[in-house]
Structures are given as C-alpha cells and as structure tokens.
Amino acid sequence: MKNQALIQWIEPLEEVVEAHLLKATSVYQNLSEEALSAKPDHDGWSAAQCIYHLNTYSDFYLPRAQKALSRVTPRHDNREFRSGFLGKLLKNTIKPENKLKLKALKAHRPAADVIGATTVAQFIEHQEQWLRLISEVESVNQLDARVESSISFLIRFKLGDVFAFMKAHDARHLQQADRVLATLPEKV
C-alpha cells in the first residue's frame, strides 16, 4: 500500500529533478565552453558558475541525506510529512519566486575558472543521485530523518525539507543561468 500523503510531498520534487535533467541533457551539455562561461557583466555569474554553485550544495547534502536515509526505520503508517520551521523558512527564502538578491556563502561561491562541460556533467550525475534517493524514500516510507546542515552543526533539517529547499535552490539558479544564456548572441 502506498502512502499517498508522502507521495504528495515527494512527487512534485521528483518532477522538478526530471525537468532539470531534461534541460541539462537537451540544452546545457550541448552548449559550447564559450557560451557556458560567458558572464552577463563584471561581477555576475556565468551559466557554468551558477551550476557549479548548485553542485557545491549537492556535494554537501547528497552524502548526508544518504546517511540519514540509511539510518531510519521504515514506517508503516500513512502519516504525512510536516515541514520543520527552519526548513520551511529556508525553502521560502531561496525559492525562485522570492526576488530578493541573496549573497552566496563563501564556501559555495564558484571559482573564476569553472569548466563548463565538467560542471554540467557533475550536475547531471547529482540529479540522478537525487532520483535514487527519492526512490529509496518510498521503501522507508518517511521523510523525517534528520540531516546535518551546512549552516551549523547545531541545526539539523528533516530530509523532506532538504529535498524541498535543494530543489527550490536548483530552480532559482538554473533560472539565473537561463537569463544569462538568453542574453548571448546567436552561435556562441
């Protein structure tokens, strides 16, 4: 028996990952190095740098989400997922609809000389790993596992919130990458 309440939380996130993978395979991985590394202005990020920034977060959260998931005991009820306070706040702050400009934390700022093709390949690899984790959620039937945060060792997020804010964050910076790419002249 499938837990519909849990599926309602995870399915839209799975669709976001799928959409990002479709975009990365049909567009980003086929762009030239020149297009991927073109900057919109002096201190703005190139498309490659936007994606690199996302990779630094997947690098952090994927292994920790995996670890959290491997430790939980499968549940057999139909309880829905309830967002934690901080997780929800973070998601609402970084979702693309929030136009407020945020400054990236130092550890997650991309270097100046990011290699586009490698960065896109890594992004695709990460998204496939997120899909694998999402499929594992179904077998443990819960999203309450606590995941270590990148903010402070005192703060832990629920796995369901990690999925949600990571996908909102991905969407935010892929939209940024698309805006940069849209300003490029044809045939770059």
Partner 1 sequence: MMVDFTHMSTIDTSALREAVMRIHPLNDEEMSDFLAVWTPVPAKRKEILTQAGSTETNLYFIQKGVQRLYYLDNEGREATLMFSYAPSFGGVIDSYFTQQPSRYYYETLTASAMLRMSAQDIDRLLSKYPAIEKMIRIGMSGIVSGLMERMVEIQAYSSEEKFRALLRRSPHILQIVPHKYLANYLGMDATNFSKLLNRVRI
Residues in contact with partner 1 by the rule CB under 8 A:
18, 21, 24-26, 29-30, 32-33, 117-118, 121, 124-125, 128, 131-132, 135
CB of 162 to partner 1, least distance (A): 20
| Lookup result for tokens 């964050």 | 169
Q: Amino acid identity, residue 95?
A: K
For residues 104 and 134, which CB has a smaller minimum distance to partner 1 in the complex? Answer: 134
| Lookup result for tokens 């309450």 | 144
CB of 58 to partner 1, least distance (A): 15
For residues 71 and 132, which CB has a smaller minimum distance to partner 1 in the complex? Answer: 132
Within 10 angstroms of residue 92's Cβ, the number of other Cβ atoms is 14
**109 in Cβ contact with 53 (< 8 Å):** yes
For residues 43 and 185, which CB has a smaller minimum distance to partner 1 in the complex? Answer: 185
CB of 142 to partner 1, least distance (A): 21
For residues 32 and 93, which CB has a smaller minimum distance to partner 1 in the complex? Answer: 32
Chain center to CA of 120: 13
Angle between helices 159-182 and 116-140 (to 10 degrees): 150
CB of 118 to partner 1, least distance (A): 7
Sort residue 187 into left (φ over 0), alpha (ψ -120 to 50) or beta: left
